[in-house]
Amino acid sequence: MVEAKTIYQNILSWKKDHFDALYLLGLIAYQTNELDRAEELIAKAIELNGRNPAFHSNRGLVLRALRRLDEALASYNRAIEIAPAYAEAFFNRGNTLKDLGRFDEALASYDKAVAIRPAYAEAYSNRGNMLTDLGRLDDALASYDRAVAIRPDYADVYFNRGATLRDLERLDEALASYDRALEIKPDFAEAYCNRGNTLMDLGRFDEALTSCDRAIAIKPDYADARSSRGAVLRKQGRLDEAVDSFRQAIALKPDFAEAYNLGTGLMDLCRFGEAGELYEQALALDVHSDRVWRGLTSMLMYHPDLSPDDRFRRQQEFGSRMAEKVVEQPPRAANDRDPRRRLRIGWLSSDFREHPVGHNLLPFFEHRDRSRSEAICYAEVRAPDDMTAWFREHSDEWRSTVGLSDAAVAELIRADRIDVMIYLAGRFDQNRMHVAAWRAAPVQVSMFDVATSGLEAMDYLVADRLMVPIHGVERFTERLARLPNTYVHPGIDDAPDVVAPPILSNGYATFGCFNNPTKVNDRVLELWAKLLARVPESRLVLKYRNHYQSAQIRDRIEGIMSRHGIERSRLELGGEPEAATPHLARYGGVDIALDPFPFNGSTTTFEALWMGVPVVTLEGNGLVSRWSSAQLQHVGLDELVARTPEDYVGFAAALAGDCSRLAGLRSELRQRVLGSALCNGRRTNRYLERALRAMWRAWCDSG
């Protein structure tokens, strides 16, 4: 390169207007990152010979590197004007249009490049990337496949192909694609990292950890790999190590907002204050990060020391930040304002699958009045199952939102002319209540969530009257639609038979809680310790999948109990993941279920009652703290709803001392639940449909 540079400089000393020498010298400057000099030289070459398309196209490369994107685009357009079949110019033009956020135009430019040159592997690769950004994952995969068919040694394409296959939940194929990338390029740290993520998805945690470690060995300063390693360690229950790995990622890359999701690991340990501080640091780096806000707003629900005003303030801030992402206000809804017509009702959820929310939703779809409304499902479901198929069969239209941006999902909903849009369990799993910020439908409704969305564009929140009492202190940005009840669950047909309470054969009471240990904070454990001290010889069984196998979780629980004089022998912690029936059968060994707080149980409460096990709950001052209270009142167990910690201990202790009462409840609870509002999907759906119709009428009248 040095020799070539000398030759071109000599030519220019002999002939200053030698445009080829100027152009070639400009390319050398570009290759050595002397961008301003490169632009100056190529611009001079163009002044002398403006009809050479390569001059314009490569000046576009320089201008793009300088982030002068509009000028770069003009250069590519000029090159194409001179040479309409210039494939490279269309390719580079597509790259610049992508930088400008003009994705559809970028895709059209890549399409033109491959139409001109069918064997253009790089163009197929970037076309695949563009299709991925547009959420067209199957089309992206086809483009990647075309690229590697042309160029079988294209490691980067195998890497991107693996990412798309993972998004499509085709995990074994994704793993094979990463393996192929590593065959071609053995030091490909990024491929090892993503391979580790895929192995984690497959539940192959030891292999996943090895793959992440390999990425770190190749690239010790690779923050993403250390973050992924932390995620694997968390799945293994090695929580302290996970937190350390996340911290290492942040030390390497302080602006790496995603690594601050180590807050989730801290929440597993009920270290809510530390988790909150980390989320705050992450928001200082990226105030609009969906993942960080999701973590923070979820943490607010678990933290036992926050006031209703604290929670509301942060939820409101979240809503404001999401609204800031909406650059252009959506057009005014043009829906037909006929209050009596058949409505198009949209349902957005990641839980159209085997999931507690899916079970809660089944009765609403089973009993809906098809003559009065249509059901259009917007499914963020990456791994469909039999329940997914059931929902597809019972909906009028089905849309996958996987891979689509929030703005694109909102546009899809508007294009479908949805009248009332329902966002389910918004802050949990992969649910997408943020879409509401784009005003996707005239009427927008939050349902099955545990607090306000904070979004001004969310018009209503549907909740049980017992969960959101008229004179409650909790605040909402939405208008409240108070129904007689909202929690509804079909009877569990394959549940084991109810058995006699174990106290009759054991001679001592067994308390139990099968909730997520994140709900079992220190205040909960301290109260339970007081209960165990009040009831001599009693036992406490804690189970949730395999989470209680974590040494850190066990140490925390045993330490608190020990400080309150409760011996380890009175605790049963554990349980590997089990199928549904064995899980329910475990209630046969529990006399009384203990509800955690402030984040109560919901499905766990229903399951306990279904198995004949009474539940004692501490009713709080927010929706998140009243799920169990509402269920108990619906089945006539108001006397087990405590309003103070002292009552909680007293109610549970009194019940533990009344074997006949326990036996009577054991024999009758399932039938009481079956005959209650909790299992009356037809009536509950009727309440909901009336509420949705009233919301629609209000919108019609507002025009």
Residue type, 574: G
pTM, 2 dp = 0.81
What does the pLDDT read at residue 484?
Answer: 95
State the chain's mean pLDDT as an integer. 92
**Residue 489 contacts residue 634 (beta carbons within 8 Å):** no
Annotated domain spans of the chain: 343-488, 503-679
Report pLDDT for 2: 57
Give residue 257's pLDDT.
Answer: 63
- Torsion 493-494-495-500 (CA) sign: positive
pLDDT, position 383: 77
Least confident of 45-49, 514-518, 522-526, 570-574: 45-49
Q: Please give the single-letter amino acid code of residue 227.
A: S
How long a stretch of residues is the chain?
A: 703
Asked if pLDDT for residue 5 goes beyond 70, the answer is no
Higher pLDDT, 34 or 337: 337
Name the percent of the chain lying above pLDDT 90.
75
**Tens digit of pLDDT for each residue in 488-519?**
999 999 899 999 999 999 999 999 999 999 99
The tokens describing 629, both together, are 């209270």
In this predicted model, what pLDDT tens digit does every residue of 436-484 receive, in sequence order?
A: 999 999 999 999 999 999 999 999 999 999 999 998 999 999 999 999 9
Strand partners, 398: 377
> Of 51, 54, 55, 62, which is closest to residue 96 (Cα–Cα)?
62
Q: Which pLDDT does position 23 carry in this prediction?
A: 75
Check residues 266 and 591 and name the one with the higher pLDDT.
591
CB 460 within 8 A of CB 479: yes
Rg of the chain over Cα atoms, rounded to whole angstroms, equals 30
Bin 216: left if φ > 0, else alpha if -120 < ψ < 50, else beta. Answer: alpha
C-alpha span between 118 and 124 (Å, rounded): 9
Beta strands in 204-359 (DSSP E): 343-349
| 178 and 392 Cβ atoms separated by less than 8 Å | no
Residue 664 CB partners (closer than 8 Å, separation 6+):
none
The rounded distance, in Å, linking the Cα atoms of 512 and 600 is 14
| φ/ψ of residue 539, rounded to 5 | -125, 160
Phi, psi of 520, rounded to the nearest 5 degrees: -95, 75
Confidence of residue 553 (pLDDT cuts 50, 70, 90): very high
> With 70 as the cut, is the pLDDT of residue 9 above it?
no
Nearest 5°: phi and psi at 673?
-65, -45
Provide the 8-state DSSP code for 460: E
Other beta carbons within 10 Å of 285: 16
Listed in order, strand segments (DSSP E) in 18-146 are none
- Buried-exposed string 482-502: b where 16+ CB fall within 10 A, e elsewhere: bbebbbbbeebeebeebeebb
The type of residue at 590 is: V
What confidence category does residue 260 fall into, taking pLDDT thresholds of 50, 70 and 90? low
Alpha helices, DSSP H only, in 367-463? 386-393, 406-415
User: Which pLDDT value is given to residue 313?
Assistant: 95
Give percent of the chain with pLDDT exceeding 70: 96
pLDDT tens sequence across 30-84: 888 888 888 888 888 898 888 999 989 989 999 999 999 999 999 999 999 999 9
Same fold, 343-488 and 503-679: yes
Q: 635-641, long-range: CB within 8 Å, 24+ apart, which pairs?
A: 635/609, 635/669, 635/672, 635/673, 635/676, 635/678, 636/672, 636/676, 640/614, 640/615, 640/616, 641/617
- Please state, as a whole number, how many other Cβ atoms lie within 10 Å of the Cβ of residue 52: 18
Superfamily per CATH, domain 503-679: Glycogen Phosphorylase B; (3.40.50.2000)
pLDDT of residue 403: 76
At 328, the pLDDT band (50, 70, 90 cuts) reads: confident
Question: Considering only 81-95, 106-120, 525-539, 541-555, which range has the smallest mean pLDDT?
Answer: 541-555
Q: What is the rounded distance in angstroms from the CA atom of residue 92 to the CA atom of residue 76?
A: 7
Give the CATH architecture of domain 343-488: 3-Layer(aba) Sandwich (3.40)
Cβ neighbours of residue 133 closer than 8 Å, sequence gap 6 or more: 98, 103
Q: Is 443 helix (H, G, I), strand (E, B) or coil?
A: strand
pLDDT, residue 48, reads: 86
pLDDT score of 25: 77
Higher pLDDT, 365 or 268: 365
* AA letter at 446: S
Residues 91-147 have pLDDT tens digits of: 999 999 999 989 899 999 999 999 999 999 999 999 999 998 887 889 999 999 999
Looking at residue 554, its pLDDT comes to 93
Task: Quickly count: other Cβ atoms within 10 Å of residue 579's Cβ.
Answer: 9
Which of 64, 95, 90 is closest to 76 using CA atoms?
90
Specify the 3-state DSSP secondary structure of 231.
helix
**Tokens describing residue 498:** 């109810």
Is 296's pLDDT higher than 60? yes
Strands of the 479-483 sheet, one edge to the other: 397-400, 373-379, 343-349, 420-424, 443-447, 460-464, 479-483
What is residue 465's predicted lDDT score, i.e. its pLDDT?
Answer: 94
Q: What are 656-684's pLDDT values in tens digits?
A: 999 999 999 999 999 999 999 999 999 99
Q: Residue 12 — pLDDT band, cuts 50, 70, 90?
A: low
The confidence band for 15, taking pLDDT boundaries of 50, 70 and 90, is low
pLDDT beyond 80 at 10: no
* pLDDT of res. 64: 93
Task: Write the pLDDT tens digit of every residue in 181-220.
Answer: 999 999 999 999 999 999 999 999 999 999 999 999 999 9
